[in-house]
Structure 1
Amino acid sequence: MNPSNLKHALFCAVITLVVSYPILGLDLVSAGTYIALEGTSTSTVLAILGAALVVFLFQLFRESIMAGLGQVPRPQLMTKGADISDETRLKLQNAFILVVVIGASLWPFIASRGAVDLATLVLIYVMLALGLNVVVGLAGLLDLGYVAFYAVGAYTFALLSQYYGVSFWVALPAGALLAALFGLALGFPVLRLRGDYLAIVTLGFGEIIRILLNNWTSLTGGPNGIGGIPDPTLFGMEFGRRVKEEGNISFHEFFSIPYDSTHKIIFLYLIALVLAVITFFVIRRLMQMPVGRAWEALREDEIASRSLGLSRTAVKLSAFTIGAFFAGFAGTVFASKQGFISPESFVFLESAIILAIVVLGGMGSQFGVILAAIAVTILPELAREFSEYRMLIFGAAMVLMMIWRPQGMMPMRRIHIKLEKPE
């Protein structure tokens, strides 16, 4: 046993106890006419001591443990298939996408209301993750304030509907375009920044937007938020029991069917599905265009890309603008789904979750990002009894992914182009 390992193990165990000390906080409780101090439960104390012991043993035998873990075969999901051509792979992907879209279209008619509502939230996160994937995964620009564009799209719809009576279909492109404008405005100050400095500036931008929404009470309502956000209509048909706007007609009355509140849930899900499919195919097409190649060149080596004549300004601004555009899409759908928004819906944790989805799925990989969005959104709902430990489990999953599969669940795969030699 190495003596230095023993010292390091003891130090780590002590640090674990120090960090865990706030959990042992004391509470003032009333005991009749007196006030008494009440500490944490015995099980919590034992759990903390057990954690410190685990840390001590891990650091003490770290070399042996890591050597054993190094012999564990790492998963190789979705990385094989080099024996098929790129053309065949592309056809298989298109067939798979078609099957998934058809299945997703039929989902709301066979699932429960709660499942459809959860699926709508999944599609919103899919749009957000695909948009952030452009900025982080393709262009390599670490954006920690992406939730700001999400908030711009949501508040655009909420404010336009509250003050001007604008419908969902008018606010949808307006929210996306305004979010893209904010993305363009953010792009200019960060043109010369990279890495950690870029992350800090974007983080500050996200917090500025949230604080502005929280303090501008005369316009945004501040912490009280904005309620009564209207639902989307279908050719003037509303999905409520009673018509809210003059000149419209209710959906169930037009088709002479009994009123059902699930009609609105299904319609909003289908809207989110169409927008998610549009987001997927637009970004997929952009990846195959010169702008997509420029994003990847900037991500791999900015100096080399500039030496090849690529405009750093244009490439960065296009990534921020396009990513923000689809975040505005998602924000508009989210505002319509919730019917109420407040600044607390757009905290930094949302940006962290979206970024984690991109990293877990595989930076630059559209299919991996979609799979990770589904997993991150649905798994916490399936394990509600562990809701108190959601972030702990989430962090542990991130650590394990970075150890065993740092490239993500489904790494990005480019189509190789071979140039024929001149005769």
Structure 2
Amino acid sequence: MAAASTSSKTTGGLDVAFILKKSVISALVALVLFSLMIGIRTEAGSDGQLTYWTRFGDLAAMVATVFGGSILIELLRHWWGPVETVRVVPPSASKALSLAGRALVPVLLIFAFLVPVIFYNERYILDLGILVLTYVMLGWGLNIVVGLAGLLDLGYVAFYAVGAYSYALLATTFGLSFWICLPLAGILAAFFGILLGFPVLRLRGDYLAIVTLAFGEIIRLVLLNWQSLTGGPNGISGIPRPTMFGIPLTPGDDGLAALLHIEFSPTHRIVFLFYLILVLALITNWATIRLRRLPIGRAWEALREDEVACRALGINTTTTKLTAFAIGAMFGGFAGAFFATRQGFISPESFTFHESALVLAIVVLGGMGSQLGVALAAVALIGGFELFRGLEQFRMLVFGMAMVLLMIWRPRGLIGHRAPTVYLERNQAISSDLVKEGHG
């Protein structure tokens, strides 16, 4: 009788002791984790010695926030109760959501084309838009390898670097134009993708991630130490800017402004770069969607779901993996070439593991296999850094907490899309004779 009352109190009533115990444990964990991150700040002094100072007030505020947030979460769970039944969405609401989802892509596309018109005098917003579109293109390229083929690649920045250095070396050494160097940079990046693919044909999961991570570091160290070719840590400067069909965007008499008889403005080049990366990103998206509907795209999806079953169906997994690495690397090379011509200067510091982790986070948070999800995640991640810039050293902490909450709320990403390209429209009955032992 007492056990029954205790059980009813635990399940039906509010168990204050359990909530407090869980909140205290969460606060203690936060105290341990944040002690060195927030409580103690270290920095190199003017004399070269390590100096430190304490911020116990900020640490106490963070621990108190975790304690109060844990209590609030438990109270919300108690008030909402367990979800025992599936809530059916009304047909009208379902239809409205479907229409909103279909209209989202055209609206975002129209807005992207109008950004230079709306924010023509906002140089900061235009530069941020170019940066976001660059990462959207990188995310769509990595999405082929990770989202469609299911191959975990932690060294994607290597292809980004190969594309950038290929364009920089070809343009500065041979004087080739951007439009000639762009496809060459993509081809060279695809070649390096094949070089990476051969050693990892038999690797999966964590082992594949370690090898790809090592490949990215090898490329970075080669760029850093091969000074006669890459300039080493000094990088390559004086990279030529792209032209509009051979017409430079300069204030001279042969520039675009002089030919159109309009006043020259430095914003013309920024707008041109914005539309250039937008077109490159849209080409990447279009090619990915088309490839996904082809047999090679279906082979990628089969490899992602089950490699053993993929082999049993007679699919050549060697060719499938190599094409995924090569095509994904090619789009990374295109993005690298654009990055080089936009910056005018590149160095190995721009191609660290942090870039690979950021692009992979965009793909995972957006939803592996989802083109729209990757684009939205790129806007959120890159734009999110700018929104939290005023928080200084707490920016990464707030941003990390937001990512953790997103993974708890949407474990498959913003738009989790794992539906196969080809599937049966209706169920088909199979005779019992076909599934007997020895026959199926």
Q: TM-score, normalised by structure 2?
A: 0.80
Distance 1:299 1:152, change over 3 A: same
Higher RCO (CA-CA < 8 Å; seq separation 6+): 1
Matching of residue 45 in structure 1 with residue 56 in structure 2: yes
Letter in 2 for 1:16: L
After TM superposition, the structure 1 = structure 2 runs for residues 10-21 of structure 1, keeping only pairs within 5 Å, are 12=29, 15-16=32-33, 19-20=36-37
Mapping of 1:146-295 within 5 angstroms? 146-242=156-252, 249-295=254-300
The residue aligned with 1:106 is 114
1:17 positional shift: 6.4
> Match of 1:297?
302
1:211 Cα offset (Å):
1.0
Tell me if structure 2 keeps the 8 A contact 1:12–1:55.
no
TM-aligned CA deviation for residue 394 of structure 1? 2.4
Report whether the alignment pairs 1:349 with 2:354.
yes
Alpha carbons of structure 1 residues 125 and 51: separation in structure 2 relative to 1, 3 Å: same
Distance between the aligned counterparts of 1:139 and 1:156, measured in 2? Answer: 27
Equivalent residue number for residue 370 of structure 2:
365
Change (3 A) 1:360 1:7: closer
Matched residue, 2:130:
120
**Mapped partners of 1:250, 1:161: distance in 2:** 20
Q: TM-score, normalized by length of structure 1? A: 0.83
Counterpart CA distance in 1 for 2:211 and 2:131 is: 28
2:382 and 2:227 map into 1 onto residues whose CA distance is 32
Consecutive unaligned residues in structure 2, runs of 5 or more:
1-16, 430-440
Distance of 2:320 and 2:201 partners within structure 1? 10
Q: Which segment drifts farther, 249-258 or 267-276? A: 249-258
Q: Tell me, in whole angstroms, the C-alpha distance in 1 between the residues paired with 2:73 and 2:118.
A: 53
Query: Is 1:418 aligned with 2:425?
Result: yes
Deviation at 1:393, TM superposition (A): 2.2
Question: In structure 1, the residue corresponding to 2:263 is in which secondary structure?
Answer: coil
- AA aligned to 2:117 is F
- Judged with a 3 Å threshold, the aligned counterparts in structure 2 of structure 1 residues 401 and 5 are, in CA distance, closer, same or farther, namely closer
Identity %: 50
CA shift in 2, pair 1:124/1:63, >3 Å: closer
User: In the alignment, residue 40 of structure 2 is paired with which amino acid?
Assistant: I
Partner SS, residue 144 of structure 1 = coil
* Counterpart secondary structure, 1:237: coil
Decide whether aligned partners of structure 1 residues 322 and 69 sit closer, same or farther in structure 2, where only a CA change above 3 A counts. farther
Displacement after TM superposition at 1:213 (Å):
0.6
Given that 2:252 and 2:258 are in contact with CA atoms closer than 8 Å, whether structure 1 keeps it comes out as: no
Question: Tell me, what secondary structure is at the counterpart of 1:40?
Answer: strand
CA distance in 2: counterparts of 1:65 and 1:316, whole angstroms? 49
Root-mean-square deviation (CA, aligned residues, Å) is: 3.6
Aligned partners of 1:17 and 1:49 also within 8 Å: no
1:403 matched to 2:408: yes
1:59-98 alpha-carbon deviations (Å, 9 max, x no partner)? 9x8995795598599xx9xxx99967xxxx79984x6544
Q: 1:49 to 1:26 in 2, by over 3 A?
A: farther
Counterpart of 2:255, as a letter, is S
Q: Secondary structure at the match of 1:189?
A: helix
Partner residue in 2 for 1:335: 340
In structure 2, how many angstroms separate the alpha carbons of the residues matched to 1:261 and 1:183?
37
Q: CA deviation at 1:378?
A: 1.6
1:280 positional shift: 0.5
Kept after mapping to 2: 8 A contact 1:145/1:205: yes
Pair 1:391 & 2:408 matched: no
What are the Cα deviations for residues 384-416 of structure 1, in whole angstroms up to 9, with x where unaligned? 212433322221122111111101111216365
**Structure 1 residue identity aligned to 2:33:** T
Query: What is the aligned length?
Result: 402
Report the residue type matching 2:135 in the other structure: Y
Matches within 5 A, 1:74-85: none
8 Å contact 2:166–2:185 — kept in the other structure?
Answer: yes
- Residue 187 of structure 1 aligns to a residue whose secondary structure is helix
Equivalent position amino acid for 1:269 in 2: F
Give, in whole Å, the separation in 1 of the partners of 2:427 and 2:74.
51
Call closer, same or farther: CA 1:204–1:398 in 2, change over 3 Å.
same
Cα deviation per residue 1:15-64 (whole Å; 9 max; x = unaligned)? 4366449934476568xxxx9996415xx2222344456668889x8995
Deviation at 1:418?
Answer: 1.6
Alpha-carbon distance change, 56 to 210 in structure 1, aligned in 2, over 3 angstroms: same
